Amino acid sequence: MVSVTFPDGATRRYPAGIRGGEIARSISPSLAKRSVAMAIDGKLADLADPIERDADIEFIDRDNPRALELIRHDAAHVLAEAVQTLYPGTQVTIGPVIENGFYYDFYRGEPFTPEDFPAIEKKMAEIIAKDRPFAKEVWSRDAAKAWFEKRGEAFKVELVDAIPPDQEIKIYKQGEWLDLCRGPHMTSTGKIGAAFKLMKVAGAYWRGDSSKPMLQRIYATAFANQAQLDAYLHQLAEAERRDHRRLGREMDLFHFQEEGPGTVFWHSKGWTLFQTLIAYMRRRQQTERYVEVNTPQVLDRALWEMSGHWQTYRENMFTTMTEDERVFALKPMNCPGHIQIFKNGLKSYRDLPLKIAEFGIVHRYEPSGALHGIMRVRAFTQDDAHIFCTEDQIKEEALRINDLILSIYKDFGFEDIIIKMSTRPEKRVGSDDAWDKAEAALTRVLDELNARGFKAAVNPGEGAFYGPKLEYTLRDAIGREWQCGTTQVDFNMPGRLGAFYIGPDSEKKTPVMIHRAMFGSLERFIGILIEHFAGHLPLWLSPLQVMIATITQDVDEYALEVLAAARQAGLKAEADLGNEKITYKVREHSLTKIPVLLVVGKREAAERTVSLRRLGSNEQTTLPLEVALRDLAAEATPPDLKRLKADGMRGVPAEEPVLAPAAGVQNP
């Protein structure tokens, strides 16, 4: 007998080996009818699985959130059957559930196109309508291989071979069709329902390896009901509307053109935003005692050979040859340059840690397929720094960087940050002893982060060849993750390039170098900001903060007075005196995402007020000019300066905020 405990705490005893479905039926026919799967001790399982030991059992119905992955996984099997029915000769490979749906990778000579989707979806609906039960069978390895070999399913044979010897070979049948699968599945295909949709086709390498064959991937999604599917599709459309490439054009921030693939033409407004970020970062770094430098863009090949870049990074480098046949390379990284500055003049242990920062423009010849707006470009500015220190100082410095990065992200409204530590890769340099120390130091940082409630994970083997790293990742509007900040501990390059300092014992010592970026790249960070705020940048970041719009030309003079006063208050302001209706001006400046519109007409001119309208809101507040400008100027103060001001004014009563906070700012 086994003892089974239900979610309400009730316990019943059953003969060992009883199936979940039988237990459900013993409780009530309706429970048995609506259950599609169960969770044994919290782990999803087939309803038909036997219960061999005492366990907690929860029955899962279709509407249970945990059923969603089953719906999608079942739908993946149905997709595969539909494709093999419609396109005989197509080989199946794998079809996992992913964050917002699922995909299935096929091998077929002909590509699939979205025009094929209606037929496939129709066939899927037919298979679902037949409501065939999913039946699990355990096969012998040889039987499974023979079955797939006979059908020319070379990829499945490879998958069978890859299953560890101690694991069963599980086969799920749905009527005639079957697939190798670890499960679990719902009770039958009919449980999938009708809320599924094929999304797109794409190429994908077998096993994610670019040396292996290219497969045809069909992306799809499924939900428990149509309303949820519709909501998801709506969310996708919203995400597309905040795409930084579209907003960059609409807000007149930057453009690209064919002659410069992956290189940005920054327009005046985009460059203003860029410089606002640099000014902010410069202040934060100065407080942390970084020194800022600037190193050459183009350096002789010999230096890159010494640093190891020529050997390991050559295909990513832009090179140039001059008339006298000397070969130079555009810097793809700033580190060798910073080491030259470190080496210039004898350093003492008393100089450490020495923090050298640069807003360094680097060029990297990225694969053409990798380019993506300003998120992934071939020329970009890093907020780079290299901290030269001793091994003993690594932990404290890494923690300081961590705290600074998190504080900075918070100032921009990012508090949901993915932190990962990447450890020693197979291909690496340096002694295991040094790696142990570096990883231990970063692990202590990681432990500290976990203690503070961050979910920091480890990426084994993903570190740089010269040391382990911490990676800080932000998400864009449609959930894509972009690595921004990074802290890398390097025991290699200072030695390679001959950097040393004089220790307390008068001996030469090689410093450890911590590579570190916080924005990562200004380009990428700006792209993420645009999408995060959907173009509705906070006032302090807006390249144009205030637009003064007149109602009639009678008030031009007052409008110009308001403009001068706004600029006097430190606001980035323009005036629109155009001969247009106010509705036209409101629309115009809303579309270019100007955060504050100050409307002036005869009334305002007479009373010396302004009518203030926020981007994203249709409410208006009429305020005395001085009050409006004072409050806007306060709001436009960068967050770090605001803190300074607050510190300086401690003891002074806080002023009542007069302006409503910006409306229409959405977080993703």
Partner RNA sequence: GCCGGUUUAGCUCAGAUGGUAGAGCAACUGAUUUGUAAUCAGUAGGUCGCAGGUUCGAGUCCUGCAGCCGGCACCA
Q: Which candidate, 323, 528, 237, 548, places its Cα nearest to that of 409?
A: 528
> Omega of the bond prior to 261 within 30 degrees of 0, cis?
no
Q: Which candidate, 93, 316, 85, 115, places its Cα nearest to that of 201?
A: 115
134 contacts 185 by C-beta, under 8 angstroms: yes
Q: Which is nearer to RNA, 135 or 582 (CB)?
A: 582
The active-site residue out of 181, 335, 389, 484 is 335
Q: Of residues 590-649, which lie at the interface with RNA (CB under 7 A)? A: 590-591, 597, 599, 601-604, 611, 613, 615-616, 618, 620, 622
Any contact of residue 245 with RNA (CB under 7 A)?
yes
Q: Which is nearer to RNA, 484 or 530 (CB)?
A: 484
Q: Which is nearer to RNA, 222 or 374 (CB)?
A: 374
Instruction: Please tell me the distance from the alpha carbon of residue 216 to that of residue 83, in angstroms, as a whole number.
Output: 12
76 contacts 96 by C-beta, under 8 angstroms: yes
Q: Of residues 188-217, which lie at the interface with RNA (CB under 7 A)? A: 200-205, 208-210, 214, 216-217
422 contacts 463 by C-beta, under 8 angstroms: yes
Q: Which is nearer to RNA, 19 or 246 (CB)?
A: 246
Strand order in the sheet with 319-321: 298-300, 327-330, 319-321
- 3-class secondary-structure state, position 387: strand
| Type of residue numbered 529 | L
Any contact of residue 294 with RNA (CB under 7 A)?
no
The total of other beta-carbon atoms located within 10 Å of residue 470's CB is 24
20 contacts 49 by C-beta, under 8 angstroms: yes
The active-site residue out of 284, 338, 376, 386 is 386
Residue 483-502 contact track with RNA, rule CB under 7 A, x = bound: xx-x----------------
Select from 30, 368, 431, 506 the one that contacts RNA (CB under 7 A): 368
Q: Of residues 87-116, which lie at the interface with RNA (CB under 7 A)? A: 111, 113
Select from 16, 119, 298, 370 the one that contacts RNA (CB under 7 A): 370
Q: Of residues 456-485, which lie at the interface with RNA (CB under 7 A)? A: 464, 471, 478, 480, 482-484
Q: Which candidate, 548, 595, 594, 590, places its Cα nearest to that of 567?
A: 548
Q: Would you call 340 a catalytic residue per the annotation? A: no
Any contact of residue 221 with RNA (CB under 7 A)?
no
Any contact of residue 349 with RNA (CB under 7 A)?
no
Q: Would you call 77 a catalytic residue per the annotation? A: no
> What is the nearest approach in angstroms of RNA to the Cβ of residue 18?
42
Instruction: Write down the residue that tokens 């007052």 correspond to.
Output: 558
> What is the nearest approach in angstroms of RNA to the Cβ of residue 521?
3
Q: Which is nearer to RNA, 176 or 619 (CB)?
A: 619
Any contact of residue 518 with RNA (CB under 7 A)?
no
Q: Which is nearer to RNA, 59 or 482 (CB)?
A: 482
Instruction: Please tell me the distance from the alpha carbon of residue 428 to that of residue 436, in angstroms, as a whole number.
Output: 13
E strand spans, 418-459: 418-422, 457-459
254-255/18-19 β-pairing: unpaired
> Omega of the bond prior to 638 within 30 degrees of 0, cis?
no
Instruction: Write down the residue that tokens 């806007």 correspond to.
Output: 632
The active-site residue out of 84, 174, 216, 382 is 382
Q: Which is nearer to RNA, 12 or 480 (CB)?
A: 480
Any contact of residue 134 with RNA (CB under 7 A)?
no
> What is the nearest approach in angstroms of RNA to the Cβ of residue 599?
4
> What is the nearest approach in angstroms of RNA to the Cβ of residue 265?
12
The active-site residue out of 170, 363, 364, 400 is 364
- The H or E element containing residue 588 is helix 582-591
Residue 540-579 contact track with RNA, rule CB under 7 A, x = bound: -----------xxxx------------------------x
405 contacts 471 by C-beta, under 8 angstroms: no
Angle of CA points 181, 186, 189, to nearest 5°? 90
What six digits make up the tokens of 222? 């499924």
Any contact of residue 13 with RNA (CB under 7 A)?
no
Q: Which is nearer to RNA, 16 or 370 (CB)?
A: 370
> What is the nearest approach in angstroms of RNA to the Cβ of residue 214?
4
316 contacts 366 by C-beta, under 8 angstroms: yes
Q: Would you call 386 a catalytic residue per the annotation? A: yes
Any contact of residue 146 with RNA (CB under 7 A)?
no
Any contact of residue 532 with RNA (CB under 7 A)?
no
DSSP state at residue 511: P
Q: Would you call 73 a catalytic residue per the annotation? A: no
Q: Would you call 364 a catalytic residue per the annotation? A: yes
The total of other beta-carbon atoms located within 10 Å of residue 73's CB is 24
Q: How many residues bind RNA (CB under 7 A)?
A: 75
Q: Which is nearer to RNA, 148 or 256 (CB)?
A: 256
383 contacts 487 by C-beta, under 8 angstroms: no
Any contact of residue 393 with RNA (CB under 7 A)?
no
Would you please indicate which residues are annotated as catalytic (active-site) residues? 335, 364, 382, 384, 386, 469, 515
